[in-house]
Amino acid sequence: MGGIADFFSKNTPLLMDALEKGKVEMAGPPAGIYYTWDEKKMESDMAVAVPIKRRYESSFRNADYYGAGEIKL
């Protein structure tokens, strides 16, 4: 599990620097998001994340996604 600790040690400061540059205030402690976990290989696709106090201001709009569905021609 040393790889996970190394990942957080490397990437958490990068995230904190980005938050500081963007003047974004944290609303809680950093957390890990594990998208996958392969027990045999001991590998994970993961991210470090931080809850924030305000929404990031952009022109992006949110949309609900309900899966690919079926396309009938």
Entry pTM:
0.62
CA distance 54 to 20: 13
Task: Give me the pLDDT at residue 60, please.
Answer: 63
Q: What is the pLDDT of residues 62-73, one digit of tens each?
A: 666 666 665 544
Q: Over the stretch 18-62, which tens digit does the pLDDT of each residue have?
A: 989 988 889 999 999 999 989 998 888 899 999 888 665 666 666
pLDDT at 48: 92
